[in-house]
A and B are shown apart, each in its own frame.
Chain A
Amino acid sequence: MASLLAAGFQFTWPWFADLLILGALYATLAVGLNLVTGYAGMFSLGHHGFYAVGAYAAGFVVTEWSAVDPGSASGLLCFAVSAGAAVVAAACAGFLVGLPCLRLRGDYLAIATLAFGEIVRIVIENTPRLEGSLGLFVPRVLMDPTGRQGEFRLLFLGIAVVLLAATALLVRNLIRSAHGRSIVSLREDETASELLGVRTTAYKVRAFVLGAAIAGLCGWFYAHYNGSIGPRDFDMMVGIKILLIVVLGGLGSLSGSFVAAFLLIGIERLLTTGVFGETLKEWMQVEYALVLILLMLLRPDGLLGKRELSDLFRRRRGQPTPGRGAP
């Protein structure tokens, strides 16, 4: 009881804000990966690589920019330009990795993308300009958080929510279009798609590049929010965490990714506060494995399967579920 009370003071606004911001960030990453893995059916374990490319592209732009006052017009411009750089860099990386790798299927693609993620990390560790394994300090350009932590968190929570809503809407609209149906058909039977006129390679590359661009945008957000980025922020466990969120929520379910992201990040944050005692802090290592085992036993198709939350409510009211992809 005493430990509960002692830990209780931690559940304050900063703690919740951090939880929500990280949850939204990982939900956005999962939305991007869901497009690649859940809808297009390409198994990627290297999503953290594109996340890193975006973060470091943004960090590079900010450190190259002449010193600015946070919040000034120049700072806002730097904020915007670094976003563009992050998206372009991650999309280009996605294109370069995608062209050769998308000829691979299933496990082979997973291994190739995993290798890409590791290559990115190792390149960063060995590049002096990016401060190697020390991590790159990203000066504040939007707002100086000293003395205004609350406002700073509120601002970034707002940005995170907009980012999540915008990317989710983008992916949803894309999937519920003629292009999206072609993309989903690849997951179902690529050979049939090709013989019925779907430009399979073109759509695979498009889905992969778009997923990478979304990860790049997440990297940009993280760089500005955290104020520093290091190779450890983008190691393999991050890629696995993103994939776990997608699988946990359901391959091909955007709202599933939302639920799973907040669930997983929530559990993680709860464990690290030590509210359940110091012993459980170390159990964080077990979290992913345990979640995966429970998932396989209880809900092998993920929390929501291929459905969306809105489908569930519709069913409850006794209306038929509309065809996936209804405009």
Chain B
Amino acid sequence: MTAPLLDVEQLCKRFGGLEAVQKVCLHIEPGEIVALIGPNGAGKTTCFNCITGADRPTAGDVRLDGRSIAGMPAWKVAQAGIGRTFQNIRLWREMTVLDNVRTPAGIPSGYGLLSAVLRGPRFHAVERDIEARSRALLALVGLEELADARARELPYGAQRRLEIARALAIRPRLLLLDEPAAGMNPSEKVELAGLVRKVRDELGLTVLLIEHDMKFVMGLSDRIYVLDHGEPIAQGRPEDVRRDPRVIEAYLGAPAAAAGEAP
């Protein structure tokens, strides 16, 4: 067995009196596509925020490749190799599509402020490299034609794909997708699943995603973790999780679970 890429140990997050996340453990192997599911308010996004440094965990540890990243500032976590998208799209709306990707692609910049102002040969070499990488990522998500448009002008599905390209631009090893398929139509969802697999296979990334669309999750994920009221209630392969009575209870309520077991 290989060493896990992401190790979340006994993660807890408390907001005042609310236990948003309680003792959540996630172990994700390199190259896996893992889903984190659960009813609304189960603590999935809080988990993401604790992993990426947007929130500081109350207790527990998060390790990336064996190195603890819990409590690190978010920009350090991102540079350590975790890219993410957002539940409510958070593109830099007035910037162009290309610049949305070039900004993280230029971190760390590779030249100093002085070099930026004086435009030395190093500046031009690095900028060419950043632009080439960014355009390749835009091509990967099918947005190369729209590179000069402003991000806010893109249709909804394209904005979601641009967020993925932007997250990929920081050269992550782990990609976190927060409800990537939300608001997409069925054919866009199929394309998105293909894109996630392509990212895993061609860029060698590991993917952790939050998603409510069960068909999408079941078809795409290697493994699934289920949260309810901040606590982990089940994990395993999609077909096992689907049949787990605790999962059915969490989603549909106790009577439905009982009815499901009866026949």
Chain B interface category by residue count: 35 or more
The answer to the question of B87 belonging to the interface, with a C-beta cut-off of 8 Å to chain A, is no
Task: Give me 6 other A-B pairs in contact (C-beta within 8 A), A188-B94, A325-B102 excluded.
Answer: A170-B117, A177-B106, A179-B113, A184-B103, A197-B78, A323-B98
Query: Is the Cβ of A182 less than 8 Å from the Cβ of B106?
Result: yes
Whether the Cβ atoms of B123 and A188 lie closer than 8 Å is: no
- What 0/1 readout, one digit per residue, does chain B (57-99) give for beta carbons within 8 Å of chain A? 0000000000000000111001100011010001111111111
* Chain B residue with the shortest CB-CB distance to A202: B75
Q: Which 10 A-B pairs have the closest CB atoms?
A: A178-B106, A188-B92, A177-B116, A197-B78, A323-B96, A178-B109, A192-B90, A181-B103, A197-B107, A196-B104
Contact A195 to B84, CB < 8 A, known contacts A188-B94, A189-B90? yes
| Nearest chain B residue, comparing its CB with the CB of A191 | B90
B124 within 8 Å of A by Cβ? Answer: yes
Chain B residues near A323 (CB-CB < 8 A): 96-99, 147-148
A315, B154: Cα distance in complex, Å = 21
B residues apposed to A, CB below 8 Å? 52-54, 73-75, 78-79, 83-84, 86, 90-99, 102-104, 106-107, 109-111, 113, 116-119, 123-124, 126-127, 130-131, 147-148, 166-167, 169-170
Task: Assess the B127–A182 pair: CB atoms within 8 A.
Answer: no
- Provide the bound-state CA to CA distance between A192 and B92, in Å: 8
Cβ-based interface call for A199 (8 A):
yes
Docked CA distance A156–B127 (Å): 37
**Complex Cα spacing A182 to B169, Å:** 13
| Residues B95 and A324 in contact, CB atoms below 8 Å apart | yes
Known contacts A195-B84, A196-B170, A206-B113; A188/B93 CB under 8 A: yes
A322 within 8 A of B: yes
Interface status of A143 (Cβ within 8 A of chain B): no
Task: Please state if A196 and B113 are interface contacts (CB–CB under 8 Å).
Answer: no
Complex Cα–Cα for A193 and B106 (A) = 12
Task: Select from chain A the residue with minimum beta-carbon distance to B106.
Answer: A178
Interface residues of A (CB under 8 A from B): 170, 173-174, 177-182, 184-185, 187-189, 191-200, 206, 306, 320-325, 327
What are 8 A-B pairs with beta-carbon distances under 8 A? A174-B116, A177-B111, A177-B127, A189-B90, A196-B107, A196-B167, A198-B107, A323-B147
Min Cβ gap B36→A in Å is 17
Which residue on chain A has the smallest CB distance to residue B169?
A196
Whether A324 and B96, one on each chain, are in contact in the complex, defined by CB atoms closer than 8 angstroms, is yes
For A198, the closest partner residue in chain B by CB is: B75
Query: By the criterion CB–CB under 8 Å, are B111 and A178 in contact?
Result: yes
The reply to whether A197 and B92 form a contact with Cβ atoms under 8 Å apart is: no
Is the pair A200, B99 in contact by a Cβ cutoff of 8 Å?
no
Q: Does A173 lie within 8 Å of B92, measured CB to CB?
A: no
Contact across chains for B95 and A321 when beta carbons are under 8 A apart: no
Pick the contact of A197: B126, B127, B131, B170 (CB < 8 A): B170
A196 touches B123 (CB 8 A): no
Chain A residues positioned under 8 Å from B110 (CB to CB):
178
Kindly identify which residue among A173, A194, A306 contacts B94, using a CB–CB cutoff of 8 Å: A306
Tell me the smallest distance from the CB of A211 to a CB of chain B, in Å.
Answer: 14
B99's partner among A193, A194, A324 (CB-CB below 8 A) is: A324
CB < 8 Å neighbour of B130 from A170, A178, A200: A178
Establish whether residues B96 and A178, one from each chain, have CB atoms under 8 Å apart when the complex forms. no
- CB A181 to nearest CB in B, in angstroms, measures 4
Q: Which residues of A contact B117 (CB under 8 A)?
A: 170, 173-174, 177
| B123–A177 CB distance below 8 A | yes
On chain A, the residues within 8 Å of B116 by CB distance are 173-174, 177-180
User: Chain A's nearest CB lies how many Å from the CB of B97?
Assistant: 8
| Minimum Cβ distance to chain B for residue A54 (Å) | 20
Measured CB to CB, the nearest residue on chain A to B167 is A196
